[in-house]
């Protein structure tokens, strides 16, 4: 039963609306069939496991993935070492602390806040670009807005020279194709393209790291490459993997957050109208979006390091574990009217950015990007409306979001 539901969740035919399948899963908070993964789908159980040190994110601890429908495929990642996202303590904790020093509190409390003006300029410029290169009769908010925006942000954060940003856009697109494969494409060609993009990205970053060590600036890459704090210094390979993580993870999730956000607002024109009149409403809207339509739907390939009892079920050591975040976010035991989009909720302690030691590292930046993007689109698009509902979705069941979001509007305000 569980395996059948998982395969339905993964099936592209259910990408537009997997929530009835999640509701079915929640009837059994911890479910398991034969040798497949253990699946946890309810809020409180997921929240507990995200904070449980007996849960590993390192796929090397998985005893068998033979019956896991999303078994690890790292062929495209061999060009770079694993990031701290895929490591356990103490290696995870050391690298995350070192990465956080130039990124956020307490050592760099103003890093994200000080980017606000620059991010607002990027958003405004992208909307201006829609006017210059397209027609309000048919706008693709993914290709023309949500996709290029986060790559430019990561480039500015790392300190990539402006003239090199187009190269990052090409690499991000190629790597994203590996995360979201075309079912009609040759898998060998996909792996070759993804691996090649990762290799080129790694070589470029290696050169930039060496240059920053000789001539450091105020950018984050300079600080990662030259810092020598209580945890020591990062090796070149560690700086490489961390920089690539910021590009890849930061990009893919933010694209989905913005795109799912606009899709939801267009389906709720009353909320869109409120946002147009009050940009401050973007803060609670983004929080509710992270609950209602999270950019990361599930966390597969976690592994138990010991026998763990959850909701009366013993999950054995070495088992494959799936945590269905989007299901927990709609758990009626936790949220009242969970299938209703309601930015006026007083309590939105969602799982949209994870929790525990692996909670989303770039959460402050992702929130700010989405707030600025959605408020600007709401303000400037006149009478926007969907041309396709549901839109075409990406293949990826984990990083779920529209591949294109075609809208029309009567005009674009200055």
The residues spanned by each domain of the chain are 2-412
Q: Provide the whole-model pTM.
A: 0.92
- Region 306-321: mean pLDDT is 95
Round to the nearest angstrom and report the end-to-end CA distance of the chain: 54
Provide, rounded to the nearest whole percent, the portion of the chain with pLDDT above 90: 73
d(CA 114, CA 311): 45
Residues 2-412: name the CATH superfamily. Cytochrome P450 (1.10.630.10)
- According to DSSP, the β-strands at 320-323 and 38-40 are parallel
pLDDT digits (tens, 9 = 90+) for 244-259: 888 888 888 999 999 9
Q: How far apart, in Å, are the Cα atoms of 72 and each of 20, 30, 359?
A: 26, 22, 21
Torsion of CA 405, 406, 411, 413, to 10 degrees: 10
> Helices 282-292 & 236-267, crossing angle to 10 degrees?
100
Contact of 371 with 282, CB cutoff 8 Å: yes
Task: Indicate if the pLDDT at residue 190 is higher than 70.
Answer: no
Give the pLDDT of residue 225. 95
Quickly state the pLDDT bin for 182 (edges 50, 70, 90).
low
Residue 241 in tokens: 């993997």
pLDDT digits (tens, 9 = 90+) for 114-162: 999 999 999 999 999 988 776 778 999 999 999 999 999 999 999 999 8
């Amino acid at each position: 039963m569980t395996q059948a539901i998982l395969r339905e969740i993964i099936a592209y035919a259910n990408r537009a609306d997997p929530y009835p399948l999640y509701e079915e899963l929640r009837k059994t908070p911890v479910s398991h069939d034969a040798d497949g993964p253990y699946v946890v789908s309810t809020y409180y159980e997921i929240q507990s496991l995200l904070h449980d040190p007996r849960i590993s994110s390192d796929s090397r601890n998985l005893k068998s993935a033979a019956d896991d429908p999303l078994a690890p495929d790292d062929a495209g990642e061999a060009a770079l070492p694993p990031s701290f996202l895929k490591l356990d303590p103490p290696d995870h904790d050391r690298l995350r602390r070192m990465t956080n020093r130039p990124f956020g509190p307490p050592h760099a409390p103003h890093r994200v806040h000080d980017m606000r003006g620059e991010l607002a300029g990027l958003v405004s410029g992208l909307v201006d670009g829609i006017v210059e290169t397209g027609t309000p009769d048919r706008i693709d908010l993914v290709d023309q807005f949500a996709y290029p925006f986060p790559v430019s942000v990561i480039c500015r954060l790392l300190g990539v020279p402006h003239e090199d940003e187009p190269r990052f856009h090409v690499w991000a697109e190629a790597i994203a194709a590996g995360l979201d494969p075309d079912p009609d494409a040759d898998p060998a060609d996909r792996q070759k393209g993804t691996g090649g993009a990762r290799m080129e990205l790694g070589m470029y970053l290696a050169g930039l790291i060496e240059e920053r060590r000789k001539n450091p600036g105020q950018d984050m890459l300079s600080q990662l490459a030259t810092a020598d704090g209580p945890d020591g210094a990062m090796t070149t390979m560690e700086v490489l993997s961390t920089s690539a993580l910021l590009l890849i993870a930061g990009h893919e999730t933010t694209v989905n957050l913005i795109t799912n956000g606009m899709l939801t607002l267009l389906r709720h024109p009353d909320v869109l109208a409120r946002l147009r009149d009050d940009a401050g409403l973007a803060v609670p809207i983004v929080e509710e979006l992270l609950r209602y339509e999270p950019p990361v739907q599930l966390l597969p390939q976690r592994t138990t390091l010991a026998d763990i009892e959850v909701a009366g079920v013993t999950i054995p050591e070495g088992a494959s574990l799936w945590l269905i975040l989007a299901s927990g976010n709609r758990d009626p035991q936790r949220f009242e009217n969970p299938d209703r989009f309601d930015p006026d909720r007083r309590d939105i302690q969602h799982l949209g950015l994870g929790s525990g030691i692996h909670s989303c590292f770039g959460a402050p930046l992702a929130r700010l990007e989405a707030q600025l993007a959605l408020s600007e689109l709401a303000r400037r698009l006149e009478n926007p409306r969907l041309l396709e509902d549901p839109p075409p979705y990406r293949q990826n069941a984990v990083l779920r979001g529209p591949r294109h979001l075609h809208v029309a509007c009567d005009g674009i305000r200055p």
